[in-house]
């Protein structure tokens, strides 16, 4: 993962969903669909004695842009 100061991030000062979609190189309807879905994460528990809930992004959320 590339690291740089936050003010140099391509997402710095994004002011609208349309601008975010453009910077992520997806259509606005795709961004809205992702935001409205309730199944974007795989949920599971780990641990033997004290179970801890884990959420892992599904493939579409974890794809690099």
In a domain, 28, yes or no: yes
**What average pLDDT does range 35-55 have in this prediction?**
89
- Domain limits at 44? 16-62
Contact 58, 39 (CB under 8 A): yes
Residue 16: predicted pLDDT: 96
- For the chain, the domain total comes to 1
Confidence of residue 30 (pLDDT cuts 50, 70, 90): very high
In a domain, 44, yes or no: yes
**What average pLDDT does range 13-36 have in this prediction?**
93
In a domain, 54, yes or no: yes
Report the candidate in 12, 14, 16, 13 with the shortest Cα–Cα distance to residue 28.
16
In a domain, 2, yes or no: no
């Amino acid at each position: 993962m590339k690291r740089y100061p936050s003010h140099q991030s391509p997402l710095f000062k994004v002011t609208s969903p349309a601008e975010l979609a453009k910077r992520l190189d997806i259509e606005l309807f795709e961004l809205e669909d992702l935001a409205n879905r309730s199944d974007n994460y795989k949920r599971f528990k780990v641990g033997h004695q004290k179970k801890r809930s884990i959420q892992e992004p599904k493939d579409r959320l974890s794809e690099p842009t």
